[in-house]
């Protein structure tokens, strides 16, 4: 009988200690200071998120500009190489080009100037 009494008191003691630890020390309410701090932190988080979105948009715009400049530089390099290639074969750069001939072309000489008489008619 003594052992059952000891066992009962031991179990009851454990429940009392567990109940005391879980129900004391913590209040379900937050203080006004904590609420104010929480609101400030939420506002700061919202500002930071909007800043991040703005910077990402700026980054994508800059990346587009860089790719456009790179494409322009590539096109310029290709033009430069084309011109250098044509300069190496200078007189015959365009073999299919035939300059117009001057045969059969009649040159026109300007008419002499007519002197006008000054005076009465």
Q: What is the DSSP string of 33-85?
A: HHHHHHHHHHHHHHHHHHHHHHHHHHHHHHHHHHHHHHHHHHHHHHHHHHHHH
Mean pLDDT calculated for residue range 52-77: 97
Judge whether residue 61 has pLDDT over 90.
Answer: yes
Alpha carbon distance 99, 91 (integer Å): 12
Query: pLDDT per residue over 44-60, tens digit each?
Result: 999 999 999 999 999 99
pLDDT of residue 40: 97
Is the pTM above the cut of 0.75?
no
Give the residue extent of every domain in the chain.
31-91
pLDDT of residue 56: 96
Alpha carbon distance 119, 87 (integer Å): 63
């Amino acid at each position: 009988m003594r052992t059952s009494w000891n066992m009962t008191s031991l179990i009851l003691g454990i429940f009392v200690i567990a109940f005391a630890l879980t129900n004391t020390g913590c209040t379900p309410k937050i203080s006004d200071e904590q609420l104010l701090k929480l609101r400030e932190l939420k506002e700061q988080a919202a500002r930071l998120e909007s800043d991040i979105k703005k910077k990402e948009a700026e980054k994508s715009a800059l990346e587009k500009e860089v790719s456009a400049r790179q494409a322009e530089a590539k096109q310029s390099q290709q033009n430069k190489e084309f011109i250098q290639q044509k300069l190496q074969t200078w007189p015959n750069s365009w073999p299919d080009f035939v300059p117009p001939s001057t045969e059969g072309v009649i040159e026109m000489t300007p008419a002499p100037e007519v002197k006008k008489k000054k005076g009465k008619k």
